[in-house]
Structure 1
Amino acid sequence: MPSTRENIIDFLYDVKSTAFHAKRDKEILDKYPFNPFIRPGTSLGDAADWQGALIGHALPGGIVTRGAFEELAAEIIDRLTKIVASAGQIQGLWYDIHGAMCVEGIDDVEFELLRRIREVIGPDVLVSASMDLHGNVSRELAHQTDLITCYRTAPHVDVIETRERACRNLVDLLARGSKQPFKAWVPIPVLLPGEQTSTRVEPALHIYDAVPKIESLKGVIDAAIWVGYAWADEPRNRAAIVVTGWDRTAVSSGAESLAHTFWDAHQNFEFVAKTGSFGECLDTALSSSAHPYFISDSGDNPTAGGSGDMTWGLTKLLARPEFKQASGPTVIYASVPGPKAIQVAIEAGIGATVTVTAGAEIDNIHAGPITMTGRVHSIKHGDTHARVEVVLQVGSVFAILTELRKPYHHESDFTELNIQPRSADIVIVKIGYLEPELYDMAADWMLGLTPGGVDQKLERLGHHRIRRPMWPFDKTFEKQPDLTARIISPSNEPLSGPDE
C-alpha cells in the first residue's frame, strides 16, 4: 500500500475473536435467522438432522488478526470432528459466509477455512455455500464447494431466501443420491463498489434479472453473480459468475451468457443516487424543501469495512455557520465513537453542558479527534454494537457518540435515543446506499463522496495486488477479456488448469 496509508487494509483496527459474537450448537438453530425453514415441522427441517458447529458475525472493518482466525477456525474444526465422530459420517454441510473477510497472512480465507473443514468431513461430503454478492469467489473456493449461490439484491432484501435456497439445493442434491454437479466459473475483470452496482437501478437491475432466467434452464440448478469486494487488495477481488447443474453445456452457456451481459454493461455502471462533495451535499440539502434530507457520509461506512471513527464529516458539519445556533436547521449525525466522551456525558447527566473529545483513535488520516461543547440530549445503555450511546446537541446538530462503532440503519436506532429523524431537516449517516428503512424515510438523498477507508473513488486507495487490467482502474483493454466458462472439477478431484 502507498505510504499515505489510505487503504482500509493498512489502518483499520484488528478484529478480535470476541467481535464475532459466536454461537454454538443448538444456539445456532434456536437464534440464527434461518431457523424458520430448518426447524422440525418444516419441509427442510424434516428433510435432515441439522446440527450446528459454530457461527460468528462481526461488524465489518479491518483485518481479522491471525490469532482470532486460528482460534475460531480451530473451534469449528474441533466441533465438526466431534459431530462426525458421533454421527459416524455426515452427508452434507451448509457453509454460510459473506466472502470478503481479510485475515493477516491469508489471501483467500473462505477457501482456507473450507480446505481445513474438508480435511475433517472428507472430499465426498456435499458442501453448499451461501454468500453475499459482495463476496469473492476464487477458483479454489468454487472447487471446494459443490453448490454455491449468493444474494440477488443490493441492498440485500433476499438474505433469508438465499440461505433457504442453499439449504434446499443441498437437501435436493442429497435426495438424488447423485455425484457432484458441474460448476461453470467465469471471472470478470470488473471491481466496483456496491453503490455503483445496486440492483435498484440499471445496469445491475437487468443483469440480476437475468439470473432466474438462466436458473430456469433445463439441467441448471443455480446461477449466481458476484460483484466482489472493492475495498480490499487481494488477487481474488473481482466480479465472478458461477452456474451449477447437471448439463455441462447448459451451465457453460448460461455462465457465459451472464458474463457477457455483465461485461457488456461495465461502462454503464453509475452511482445509485445523486453524488457530490460533502459541502455540495449540505448545500443541496439546505436549499431543498424535501425533509428529511439524507446524506451518506460514504467514505467511513462501517458496514462496508470503514473504521467508523473518522471525524472528518462531523468536523466539516460543525464548522458550517448555518448550524451554530440551536435555532438552525435540525441535523442528526450518526456517528462517532468516543469512549472517554461517553463517560464524561454519563457522569454529567442528561441536560448538562459538557466539553468532550471523540473519534480518530483508528483513522486520523484526514482529521484528528474532534472537541465539542454541547448539551447532553440523551443516553442509552445496552446496544449490541455501540454498547453505550450519547446524543450531544451542538448548536442545531444532534451528534451521536458511541462507546463502540455502530451502523445506523433503522428508525428505532434514532427514536430510542429520543431523536426523530422524520422531523429533522437533514440526517447524515455513515453508510453507502441507504438501507431500506432509511430509503423509505428519506424525502430525498445524496451520496457524499467523502474520504475514508471505503472511499467510493477507488483509484485513490492505491490497489496494487488486484489482477490487471481491471475496470475501472484501467479504462482501456488491449483485448477483450476471456469470458469462456471454466468447468471446475468436483471437490473430490484435483484442481487442475490455469487460474484464469
Structure 2
Amino acid sequence: MSQRPVIAIAGLACETSTFTPARTLGGAFHPRRGGEVIEKYAFLHHGTRLANVADWKGALIGHALPGGVVVRADFEQFSTEILERLAGMVALNPIDGLWYDIHGAMCVEGMEDVEAELLRRIRTVIGPDALVSASMDLHGNVSRELAHQTDLITCYRMAPHEDELETKERACRNLVNVLALRPDTWRGNRPLKAWVPIPILLPGEQTSTRNEPAKSLYSLVPKIEAMDDVLDAAIWVGYAWADEPRNHAVVMVTGWNKATIARGAERLASLFWRVHTDFHFVAPTGSFSECIDNALASSNRPFFISDSGDNPTAGGSGDVTFGLNQLLKRPEFRKGSDPSVIYASIPGPQAINIIIKAGVGAIVTITAGAQVDNLHSGPITMTGRVHAIRYGDRNAEIEAVLQVGSVFTIVTKLRKPYHHESDFIGLGLSPRTTDIVIVKIGYLEPELFDMAAEWMLGLTPGGVDQDLQRLGHHRILRPMWPFDKTFHRAPDLTPQLIPFSNEDLEMLQE
C-alpha cells in the first residue's frame, strides 16, 4: 500500500426499545453524507494526524434519538444508499478500511442482530480484505456474528458518555495504526479477537461509571489495554430494553497474542461477574408520588426527579403522561405562589398549534401526550398560561411552556431530551432557581447532575421501565442476572477466540 489507505465511513445508530409501541422513522436519523460525515468529526478535519495519514471518505451515517423499533422500509432505504455509495467508491479505488460508526442496540421490524446484518451487506461491496473498525456505545450489544464481521471494535468507557468522541477517535486511530503496521502485507496481519459473553443484563441507571462497582470495573479497561500485544479492551453492559438473544454483557480484547488477549478478557469478565450482585441504582429511588413527597419535604433546591420509565434517550416514546398526570393532581402546586416545578416534557403536535395561534401570555386549553404510548395513562388536558414559544430545535422543532398553577410544563411538537441548562434557559426557565425539576431521563447528564442539590430516580412505567421483570422478556438467554437470582453453576467465562472476518464463523450458541 504505497499511498495513503482509503477508509470509508458508514453506520446507523439508534438505541431502540422493543417494549414501546413507538416506531422510529428514517427522518429521525438526520443522515449525513459524503463531506458532511467528515465535517461532523473534528479529529478528521484537514490538518489533523488522522486526516494526514489516510484518505477518509464519508458514505452515510445516521444517529437517531433513541426510540422504538425502526421501520423496515426506512432501514432498507438507508442500507441501499450506503451500499450504493460504497460501490461508487470501490469503482474508483479499493477500500482498505471502514470505520463502522454505530451504537449497537438498534432493532428493525422483522430483523435480528441488525448491526451485524448491515455490516455483512457492506462487506459484499467492500470485500473481505477491507479492515473494519467499529465504535460503539457501551449499552450496545456484541453478538458473535458482529464480533466476527469486525476486525477492531471498541466502546465508550464512561456512563454518562463523556468519552464519546474520544472513543470514536480511538477506533479510527487503531484502524490507521493497524493499516500502517505492515503497509504491503497487512491483509495477512489481522488482529486476534477474544470475546466473552456474560449472563448479566442491567440498565445504565445501575451501571453508571460514576459509582461503584462500575467505576472500578471500567478503570481496569485501560490497564488491560496497556498490556503488551493488546490493541484495545472493552466492556459492553448491553441494552436492557430489547428482547433479543444478543442482549447481555460482553467483554472483548483485541491484539496480537492469543494468550495475552485471552488473559485480559478473562480478567475483565471475571471481575464483572464477581461484582454482579453489587450493582444498585445510582440515586435514591421511589414511586413518582414518593419522589414528589420527598422533594416537598426537602430544603435542598433545586430538587431533581428522573421520570425514568419514559426516558427518550434510552428508547422511551417520550409521550407517556403517567408522571405529568400525577403531578397536576397534587394540591401543593395549584397556585402560582406554590413551590415552582419544571416538567420536561410532553409532546403534543396539535397542542403546539393551539399555543402558537394563541401566543405568549394567552390562556389556552390543550390536550397532549399518549398518542403513541397510552398503555399507562391517556392523553392529558391542561388549561394554563403560555409562558414561552421557541422554534428551530433539531429534535423538537417547536417547543412551548404552559404554566398551570406553579407547574411549568414543556410541550413539544416532537419528543426531545432535556440534558442542558441552555435547553431550559432558551424557554425562559431557570432550573437553578426552581424548587423541583422533573426530567424524562435516567441518570442525570453532567450539567444536570452538577446542578442538582438533591436527586431521586422515579421508578415510573414506560418503554424503558427500570423494573425489568415488569416488562416481560421472553427471548433473552437464560439464566440471566437479575432476571434469575439463582445460578446452579458459575457461568463459563472462558474467552472465545473469534475467527478473522475473512474466515468462516462456526455457528455456536452464545
The reply on whether 1:27 has 2:36 as its aligned counterpart is yes
Matched, 1:49 2:58: no
Q: Is 2:204 aligned against 1:194?
A: yes
Q: Distance in 1 between matches of 2:100 and 2:17?
A: 27
149, 152, 161: which is aligned to 1:147? 152
Shift of 1:278: 0.7
Is 1:64 matched with 2:74? no
On the 8 A contact 2:19/2:471 being kept in 1, the answer is no
Q: Matched residues in 1 for 2:334 and 2:17: separation?
A: 33
The CA distance in 2 between the partners of 1:395 and 1:40, in whole Å, is 54
Shift of 1:18: 1.5
Q: Which amino acid aligns with 1:27?
A: E
1:111 aligns with 2:116: yes
Quote the sequence identity (%).
67
1:399-449 deviations in whole A, cap 9, x for unaligned? 000000000000010000001111100000000000001111111111111
Structure-1 residue corresponding to 2:497? 487
Say whether the 8 Å CA contact 1:12–1:61 is kept in structure 2.
no
More strand by share: 2
Offset at residue 11 of structure 1 (A): 3.8
Residue in structure 1 matching 2:100, options 95, 102, 124: 95
Give the Cα–Cα distance (whole angstroms) in 1 for the partners of residues 507 and 139 of structure 2: 26
Residue 301 of structure 2 aligns to a residue in which SS? coil
Q: Distance in 2 between matches of 1:416 and 1:390?
A: 10
Aligned residues: 490
Instruction: List runs of 5+ in structure 2 lacking aligned partners.
Output: 1-15
Partner of 1:348: 358
1:264 is aligned to 274
The letter for the 2-side match of 1:325 is: K
Check 1:171–1:287 CA distance in 2 against 1; reply closer, same or farther (3 A cut). same
Q: Which runs of 5+ in 1 are unaligned?
A: 1-6
Question: Is the Cα–Cα contact under 8 Å of residues 20 and 462 in structure 2 kept in the other structure?
Answer: no
Q: Does 1:442 align with 2:452?
A: yes
State the Cα distance separating 1:10 from its structure 2 match: 4.9
Give the structure-2-normalised TM-score. Answer: 0.95
* 1:4 counterpart residue number: none
Give distance in 1, aligned partners of 2:447 and 2:494. 40
On the 8 A contact 1:39/1:46 being kept in 2, the answer is no
| Shift of residue 12, structure 1, vs aligned partner | 2.5
- 1:126 and 2:131 are equivalent in the alignment: yes
Tell whether the 8 Å contact from 2:241 to 2:464 is kept in structure 1 after alignment.
yes
The 3-state SS of whatever aligns with 2:139 is coil
Report the CA distance between 1:8 and its aligned residue. Answer: 4.4
Which amino acid in structure 1 is aligned with residue 248 of structure 2? R
Q: Superposition pairs for residues 379-458 of structure 1, below 5 Å? A: 379-458=389-468
Cα separation, 2, equivalents of 1:25 and 1:19: 19
Please state whether the residue corresponding to 1:62 is helix, strand or coil.
strand
Mapped to 2, the partners of 1:286 and 1:133 lie a distance apart of 36
How far apart are the structure 2 equivalents of 1:349 and 1:18? Answer: 29
Distance, in Å, in 1 between the alignment partners of 2:294 and 2:453 is: 13
Specify the alignment match of 1:298 in structure 2.
308
Deviation at 1:58, TM superposition (A): 1.1
1:214 shift after superposition: 0.6
* Alignment partners' CA distance in 2, 1:150 and 1:446: 28
Listed as ranges, the matches of 1:359-370 within 5 Å are 359-370=369-380
CA distance in 2 between counterparts of 1:377 and 1:315 reads: 20
Residue 363 of structure 1 aligns to which amino acid in structure 2?
A: D
Alpha-carbon separation, structure 2, partners of 1:499 and 1:466 = 12
Distance 2:49 2:352 in 1: 49
What's the counterpart of residue 37 of structure 1? 43
Distance 1:40 1:348 in 2: 49
What's the RMSD between the two structures over aligned residues?
A: 0.9
* TM-superposed deviation, 1:19: 1.5
Deviation string, structure 1 residues 338-364 (Cα, Å, up to 9, x no partner): 111111111111111111110000111
For 2:265 and 2:324, locate their aligned partners in 1 and report how far apart those are by CA, in whole Å.
45
Q: 2:23 aligns with which of 14, 25, 34?
A: 14
Instruction: Specify the code of the residue in structure 1 equivalent to 2:257.
Output: D
Q: Distance in 2 between matches of 1:328 and 1:183?
A: 59
Are the counterparts in 2 of residues 185 and 255 from structure 1 also a CA contact under 8 Å?
yes
Determine the C-alpha separation between the residues in 1 that align with 2:84 and 2:275.
46
The residue aligned with 1:462 is 472
